[in-house]
Amino acid sequence: MKILVPGNVPFDLTIDVPGVEVARYVMRDPVPAEHADADALVTWSSPQRVLEDAARRMTRLRWVQTLNAGPDQALAAGFGPEVVISSGRSLHDTTVAEHTLALVLASVRRLDRTFAAQREHVWDRDLGTEQARDEARFTLRGARVTIWGFGSIAEVLAPLLAALGARVTGVASSAGERYGFPVVASIDEVAPTTDLLISLLPATDATHHALDARVLGLLPAHARFVNVGRGATVDEEALVAALRDGTIAGAALDVTETEPLPEASPLWDAPHLVLTPHVAGGRPQGAAAFVTEQLKAWLADGADGLRNVVAR
């Protein structure tokens, strides 16, 4: 078996499995002709054009393992139905949870406002007065936090929020209890009582612009929104309008629908908005061990042995 693995990643991706030939490629370059016969392909941050080229030229390919938590790029590349796609779900849980918590606290504690004041050399005395007058809007203690997309990242994030006093509810495809937290099946059930909405949604046809003007209108005016899932799940025009009109109090985004964010995007100047450039995940944690485990499972049981197989 021959597996093609990116060789220019800034983390360990050493694969040593008996009977397996490991070939290397440069993530931003097309797969070399001598390796187009590979049976499996590992991807991380290759441009879409590289994945699309691989889908056309790698005719022997049977399995694509992406190290990204979301498989949307691989799904959109055009790999044939015979190609199994598995995601890097769980490899980014800790770092994404940490970054999400940072964005939450930055928004709730109004660090966007203090950073702006710092740049202007202004000591914002009003902020302390506002906090004393309406403390509940500046703390997670007692806040009703909704996590939309209650998967493995939420398993790490929810206890962190709860430790700071938040009351966490999840939204997923089925209701019940998960990781010790209540879960409902519809955002409509909890939006009107949500103080902070966190989206961890993947990009699918069903989640496209899931946060739109209608859902924003269900949230209380003091609510805040944080997105560390995928940018395509947010109607950005509706979000900017809600921030400008005061329909919601603030937002923080690590992802946008177009990345890099275009210079002319109104998000740059939207009020009460914190932006980070899709850096929540960072490098996949334990990638070498994960791919090795997946490879051994493939050799033993084929697709049936893999974790994180994506439905197509």
Q: Which residues contact 10 (CB under 8 A, 6 or more apart)?
A: 283
For 73, 97, 258, the CA distances from 159, given in Å and listed in that order, are: 30, 10, 31
| Sheet containing 63-66, strands listed edge to edge, beginning at the edge strand earlier in sequence | 21-25, 2-6, 40-43, 63-66, 84-86
Q: Which residues contact 73 (CB under 8 A, 6 or more apart)?
A: 43, 46, 48, 51, 66
Specify the 3-state DSSP secondary structure of 259.
Answer: coil
Which member of 57, 135, 244, 259 is catalytic? 259
Report the distance separating Cα 285 and Cα 296, nearest Å.
19
Q: Which residues contact 45 (CB under 8 A, 6 or more apart)?
A: 27, 68
Active-site residue 21, yes or no? no
∠ CA(137), CA(243), CA(173), 5° rounding? 80
Which member of 89, 99, 110, 230 is catalytic? 230
Which member of 137, 208, 278, 283 is catalytic? 278
The helix/strand count (H/E) of the chain reads as 10, 13
Active-site residue 236, yes or no? no
CB 252 within 8 Å of CB 103? yes
Active-site residue 259, yes or no? yes
CB 53 within 8 Å of CB 32? no
Question: Where in the sequence numbering do the catalytic residues fall?
Answer: 230, 259, 278
